[in-house]
Structure 1
Amino acid sequence: MTATSTTVHRPSAVGLVSDGRFVSSVAEINEVRAREPQRIGELLANRERRDLFGADGKLMIVACDHPARGALGASGKKNAMADRLELLDRLATALSRPGVDGLLATADIAEDLLLLGALEGKLVFASLNRGGLQGSSFEMDDRNTGYDVRGTLEARFDGLKMLTRIDLDDPGTVATLERQGQVVTECNRARLIAMVEPFMSRRVPTKHGTKVVNDLTADAVIKSVAIASGLGASSAYTWMKLPVVPEMERVMASTTLPTLLLGGDPENAPDETYAAWSAALALPSVRGLVLGRTMLYPADDDVAKAVDTAVGLVR
């Protein structure tokens, strides 16, 4: 399958494994979901798994949980991620590239890719909370609407990721922290990685109301790390997922927890972005990258090239 909005040539993402268990095209996913929904559970139960790390102790993870929060924009295009078949094609292409270790996603995305055979031998991190819909009056309400600990265990996935936005002016933040502390505790007891993505956030006025903005100064990220690190009754399986910001050395000096760096939807030129990632990857505690829109919708629309570049930085 070729992306519908581009003419880029990249490897076909479908038919990755053709032993009868998996669909041979993206178009078949709907048929399986309608007639054989039980196949998803069967594939989860028999999916080939892998060790967490290879010899280098680094990870390259492809992320796709933004659509479930109503965030469909990428690379300056408002609805870039709206075409699900194209998105799956790009995701499966990314997962097929050498050096890519796994996926971070909501159940709808993960199970589509599972049916395609794209998750065999990959790590999978389940996305917990997508309830704070982009642009909504309740955007800061990061309640649990995706996977839970039980669902992550039943799916035989490797960990659970949670967005943790902290607004000191929003009394609702304390309820978010309480619930996420419980999830971190449950993850640690189940020996699942609890990947916490913290931000110090606030609402700022706009022409049409307000919007949520994350504070990406080093001091703010350090404060968010301190708060998030203390969630739960154990931190043995707790990881951080952090943005790359100026003075990253100070940020990484604030934690001993294994950390993956997020890419977001960068506004800088690609060379500047790659240079910042490369410098951050050399710091203690940094274990790799979790990238989504940056690789799936690059400026030149060459997914394979973008993924290979990111893998080269990690390894």
Structure 2
Amino acid sequence: MISDAQWADLLHTRATDPQAVYRLYTSRIRRASLLSDNGTLFLVAADHTARGAMGIPGDPAAMVDRRSLLERLLIALSNPAVDGVLGTPDIVEELLLLGALENKVVIGSMNRGGLAGADWEIDDRFTAYTAQSIVDFRLDGGKMLLRIVDTDAGTVPTLQACADAVTSLAEKNLMAMVEPLPYRRDNGKLTLLKDSLSLARASTVASALGVTSAYTWLKLPAPEDPEAVLSSTTLPTVVLGGVPSARVEDDIASWGRALRHPVVRGLVIGRALLYPPDGDVAAAIDAAAKVLHEGVSA
């Protein structure tokens, strides 16, 4: 939990000492490797609110309370199995000010301009970290979202921007984590395509972005047929959580099936673990850590 004194200090620092953020970026103790000693990567995702995605099933405003969100992130990051966080500058900097990112992997989220529900959602502009800022702030890589809709021309500038970001990060020897998601638009509403062929196609498109794939990782949903989808790439891959279901144990089981594939290196999960139905964040993190260990060991 964040004490009242800690919260007051955070707000005071935000208002009176903006240079404190830069001092913490430059002095943070970084981890030597992206992968843990077990060869895995377990990150908590916290970049949803920057594109206006603030809800979970049954509660459209679940993530609005920033203190509650940060407390949940602190619980997750206190688990030694959690390697770090994927977040936008505001979240990362608040966690820095709370002292939660020492010896942690920090991946900066880059494009959040495709606001949830907006008419232009697929034209997903880069509005957060840049490749240069990720270097300057000593982060460990950058993440970008690539939603592919064949009937929406907004896909094209997003493709180009993601390719440029992959190139820029690779020039600086930094991980580029690409999250390719195929969608269709039905009566104005976007629907994620979960069939194997659509997911594999998105994977192959993302794998070829930029002038080199040497530093590219993929972030993919747990497919119903892991072999059919995950065999489409040799790139290191992490499984995303997506919109949580009503039963976190069902989500965890689906991640476990994907983790058995040799290209999969870990998990990047947000709302499903930070806002479990029973409210027990620590237990949800423990369960995900266990399935990660069992999946990679299988």
Q: Which TM-score band (shorter chain)?
A: over 0.9
Matched, 1:72 2:50: no
SS at match of 1:25: helix
- Residue 277 of structure 1 is matched in structure 2 by 255
Q: What is the TM-score of this pair, normalised by structure 2? A: 0.95
Taking a change above 3 Å as real, the CA distance of residues 56 and 13 of structure 1, as seen in their structure-2 partners, is farther
Q: What is the correspondence of 1:286-301 to structure 2 with a 5 Å cutoff?
A: 286-301=264-279
SS at match of 1:273: helix
Residues in 2 aligned to 1:240 and 1:247: alpha-carbon distance in whole angstroms: 17
Contact 1:261 1:286 in 2 (8 A): yes
Deviates more, 1:188-197 or 1:50-59: 50-59
Q: What is the correspondence of 1:150-165 to structure 2 with a 5 Å cutoff?
A: 150-165=132-147
What's the offset of the Cα at 1:143? 1.1
Taking a change above 3 Å as real, the CA distance of residues 272 and 242 of structure 1, as seen in their structure-2 partners, is same
SS at match of 1:201: strand
- Residue 189 of structure 2 is matched in structure 1 by 211
Residues in 1 aligned to 2:103 and 2:10: alpha-carbon distance in whole angstroms: 20
- Residue 125 of structure 1 is matched in structure 2 by 107
Read off the aligned partner of 2:152 and give its amino acid letter: D
Contact 1:127 1:162 in 2 (8 A): yes
Task: Give the gaps of 5 or more residues in structure 2.
Answer: 294-298
Matched, 1:241 2:219: yes
Matched, 1:230 2:208: yes
Higher relative contact order (CA 8 A, sep 6+): 1
Q: Percent identity?
A: 47
Matched, 1:103 2:85: yes
Matched, 1:255 2:233: yes
Contact 1:126 1:157 in 2 (8 A): yes
Read off the aligned partner of 1:311 and give its amino acid letter: A
Matched, 1:91 2:73: yes
Residues in 1 aligned to 2:152 and 2:60: alpha-carbon distance in whole angstroms: 28
Task: Give the gaps of 5 or more residues in structure 1.
Answer: 1-11, 16-23
- Residue 8 of structure 2 is matched in structure 1 by 27
Residues in 1 aligned to 2:179 and 2:218: alpha-carbon distance in whole angstroms: 6
Residues in 2 aligned to 1:158 and 1:14: alpha-carbon distance in whole angstroms: 29
Residues in 2 aligned to 1:201 and 1:95: alpha-carbon distance in whole angstroms: 32
What's the offset of the Cα at 1:14? 5.9
Q: What is the TM-score of this pair, normalised by structure 1? A: 0.90
Contact 2:170 2:215 in 1 (8 A): yes
Residues in 1 aligned to 2:3 and 2:146: alpha-carbon distance in whole angstroms: 34
Q: State how many pairs are aligned.
A: 292
- Residue 296 of structure 2 is matched in structure 1 by none
- Residue 163 of structure 2 is matched in structure 1 by 181
Contact 1:58 1:288 in 2 (8 A): yes
What's the offset of the Cα at 1:202? 2.1
What's the offset of the Cα at 1:278? 1.1
Give the alignment partner of residue 166 of structure 1, picking from 144, 148, 164.
Answer: 148
Read off the aligned partner of 1:159 and give its amino acid letter: G
Residues in 2 aligned to 1:274 and 1:41: alpha-carbon distance in whole angstroms: 37
Matched, 1:114 2:91: no
What's the offset of the Cα at 1:82? 0.5
Contact 1:75 1:297 in 2 (8 A): no
Name whichever structure is richer in helix by fraction: 2
Q: Which string of whole-angstrom CA distances, capped at 9 and with x for unpartnered residues, describes residues 1-53 of structure 1?
A: xxxxxxxxxxx3569xxxxxxxx612321210111110110011100111222
Residues in 2 aligned to 1:194 and 1:54: alpha-carbon distance in whole angstroms: 18
Residues in 1 aligned to 2:256 and 2:224: alpha-carbon distance in whole angstroms: 13
